Amino acid sequence: MSAVASADRLKIARAAAARVADPELPFLTIEDLAVLHAVEADERGQVTVTILPTYSGCPAMNVIALEIETELLKVGFPDARVTIANAPAWTTDRMSPAAREKLLSNGIAPPEERAAKRRLFAAAPIVACPRCGARDPERVSEFGSTACKALWRCRACREPFEQFKCA
Amino acid sequence: MAPASCDPRAAWLMRLGDATLMLGHRLTEWLSRAPTLEEDIALANLSLDLIGQTRAFYTRACELEGGTRDESELAYRRAEPDYRNPLLVEQPNGNFADTIARHLLFSAYAHPLYEKLAHSTDAETGGIAVRSAREMAYHLRHSGEWMVRLGDGTRLSHEKAQAALDDLWPYVPELFEADELDREAAASGFGVDPSTLRGEFDAAVNDVISRATLTKPADSFGQRGGKSGRHSEWMGHMLAQMQFLQRAYPDARW
């Protein structure tokens, strides 16, 4: 296979993998989340997709790996492999600006800009209500419906909302 | 006592995994029984983090060992003396103050441990530690805030929080005792010598204890044995429950 043809095939493989959505946040792709780390092919043309796990206990990783294999199968890569790499370590800092916009428009406050180094008893981060924009919400719990979310309540509009936790 | 693995790096990582597995399992015992709905969800999340960390530590250990075992085999197909977790994490949940005190002591130890392990010469181990350290900061804050609320709460909650701290304190020294395996792991740059973590542990725990108006127990004696496979009576009961399915139906899969 020529170098050009294999580069094109790799682009197709990458686009297919990038379409896979997070099963718990279906409006976000694994590319938005920066879970998709690399798509590479060896000299025989076998494709390996490397993904970065997010929260240690996140059960979505296995589903994501399975869906990547399915998407690649659809575009002609029946023997593609998915590997999970711990280095580099994933952090919410790796998420794209598009991911933050999508979270906000789906009613979930995005994580703070820089991965929190907040220690014991430090003040809670300032989070804006994704519904009314007021910057005066109260934290209900740092633990929510999934490993990546915290529970908040807006003191202005009184609505509860979730925040994608900083990690 | 024979090492848990032929590879010292694997044996050292497995010990971290044993600790997070046992504590993670203990926390699952709270599910549907926590004092409030939010706390039920919080304890489930803490447990999920710990079991996730276990999977990562075990999986990396199995890779370093050469790939003949996997995470499930380590979790479900070993006997009591094969587990090398400190005694603290296998102690029963007791009341809510006991669980919170146990979690404070563990996370004040594990947070600096993981922060140092982030610099491991093994990049995969370092990456696991980076993410685990961020999670453990949440654990430390959650258990610390609860400890303050209980200690500085009512007379009854104060008494229970103090009793929990007093009961669990003898299990603290073991966390920081370095053995040959620890020293070897630290010397090679792969792991961390736990005796270097006591200062950070004391700083965090002292801060909580003083805000909680509690009294720091005296360092009288230490209960030890778990790190070399000699466990308290609670361990066998916990494993019997955790491993029931694999014992009754060997090789059962989802």
Gap between the Cα atoms of B103 and B24, Å rounded? 10
Contact, A134 vs A128, CB < 8 A? yes
- In whole angstroms, how large is the CA radius of gyration of chain B? 18
A124, closest residue in chain B (CA to CA): B141
Instruction: Tell me the angle at which helices B180-187 and B8-28 cross, rounded to the nearest 10 degrees.
Output: 120
Q: Where are the alpha helices (DSSP H) in A19-130?
A: 60-74, 97-105
Q: Which residues in chain B have their CB less than 8 angstroms from residue A153's CB?
A: none
Residue B5 predicted with pLDDT over 90: no
Residue A1 confidence (pLDDT) above 60? no
Given a cut of 70, is residue A118 above it in pLDDT?
no
Domain with CATH 3.30.300.130 in chain A: 3-90
Spell out the CATH class of B8-248. mainly alpha
Task: Return the pLDDT at A38.
Answer: 97
Which residues of chain A are at the B interface, by a Cβ-Cβ cutoff of 8 Å?
Answer: 53-59, 85-91, 115-116, 118-121, 140-145, 147, 151, 165, 167
Of the candidates A53, A55, A88, the beta carbon closest to that of B49 is on A55
pLDDT of B184 reads 97
For chain B, domain boundaries:
8-248
Cβ-defined contact of A120 to B140 (cutoff 8 Å)? yes
Residues in chain B: 254
The whole-number average pLDDT for the span A17-23 is 97
Q: In what order do the strands lie in the sheet with A81-84?
A: A36-41, A47-51, A81-84
- Phi/psi at B32 (nearest 5 deg)? 80, 0
**Phi first, then psi: what are they for A29, rounded to 5°?**
-90, 165
Question: Which whole-number Å values give the CA distances from B96 to B3, B35, B44, in the listed order?
Answer: 35, 8, 14
Q: Given this model, what pLDDT does residue A120 score?
A: 72
Tell whether the model's pLDDT for residue A114 goes beyond 70.
Answer: no
Closest-CA residue of A relative to B129 is A89
Least CA distance to B111: which residue of chain A?
A119
The CA distance from A15 to the nearest CA of chain B, in Å, is: 27
**Closest chain B residue to the Cα of A56, Cα to Cα:** B52
pLDDT, position B126: 98
The pLDDT of residue A115: 52
Distance from the Cα of A46 to chain B's closest Cα (Å) equals 22
| Rg of chain A on CA atoms, in Å | 18
Distance from CA of B165 to the nearest CA of A (A): 19
How many angstroms separate the CA of residue A143 from the nearest CA in chain B?
5
ipTM metric: 0.91
Matching CATH number, A3-90, of 3.40.50.10090, 1.10.275.10, 3.30.300.130, 3.40.50.720: 3.30.300.130
Interface size, chain A vs chain B, as Cβ–Cβ contacts under 8 Å: 100
Task: Say which of A56, A90, A143 has its CB closest to residue B52.
Answer: A56
**CA A34 distance to own-chain centroid:** 6
Q: Using one digit for the tens of pLDDT, what is the confidence trace for B65-79?
A: 998 999 999 999 999
At B178 the pLDDT is: 97
Are A142 and B125 within 8 A, CB to CB?
A: no
Q: What is the pLDDT of residue B164?
A: 98
Residue A3 pLDDT > 80: no
* pLDDT: which is higher, A115 or B187: B187
pLDDT of residue A119: 63
Question: Average of pLDDT values for B147-176?
Answer: 98
**Cβ-proximal residues to B111 (8 Å cutoff; 6+ apart), any chain:** B133, B136, B137, B139, B140, B200, B204
Residues B168-209 pLDDT 10s: 999 999 999 999 999 999 999 999 999 999 999 999 999 999
Average pLDDT score over residue span B126-149: 96
Task: Map residue B53 onto helix, strand or coil.
Answer: helix
Please list every residue in chain B whose beta carbon sits closer than 8 Å to the beta carbon of residue A120. Answer: 140-141, 144, 204, 207-208
- Interface residue of A58, A66, A120 to substitute, partner B, most B CBs within 10 Å: A120
* Residue A104 binned pLDDT confidence (cut-offs 50, 70, 90): very high
Interface probe, candidates B107, B131, B206, B211, chain A, greatest A C-beta count within 10 A? B131
What is the rounded CA–CA span in Å between residue B105 and residue B171?
Answer: 9
Q: What is the pLDDT of residues B48-68, one digit of tens each?
A: 999 999 999 999 999 999 989
Other Cβ atoms closer than 10 A to A43: 7
The pLDDT value given to residue A116: 54
pLDDT of residue A156: 96
Contact residues, chain A, for B42 at CB < 8 Å: 141-143
By the 8 A CB rule, do A44 and A82 touch? no
pLDDT of B9: 97
For residue B7, pLDDT beyond 60: yes
A81 exposed, middle or buried (CB, 10 Å; 0-12, 13-18, 19+)?
A: middle
If pLDDT is split at 50, 70 and 90, which confidence band does A117 have?
A: low
Non-local (6+) Cβ contacts of B159 within 8 A are none
Closest to B233 (Cα-Cα) out of B78, B80, B14: B80
pTM of the model: 0.95
Confidence of residue B117 (pLDDT cuts 50, 70, 90): very high
Q: What is the pLDDT of residue A125?
A: 79
How much is the pLDDT for B111? 97
Using the predicted structure, report yes or no on whether residue A7 has a pLDDT greater than 90. no
Helix (H, G, I), strand (E, B), or coil: what is residue B253? coil
Q: What is the pLDDT of residue A59?
A: 86
What does the pLDDT look like over A56-84, one tens digit per residue?
A: 988 899 999 999 999 999 999 999 999 99
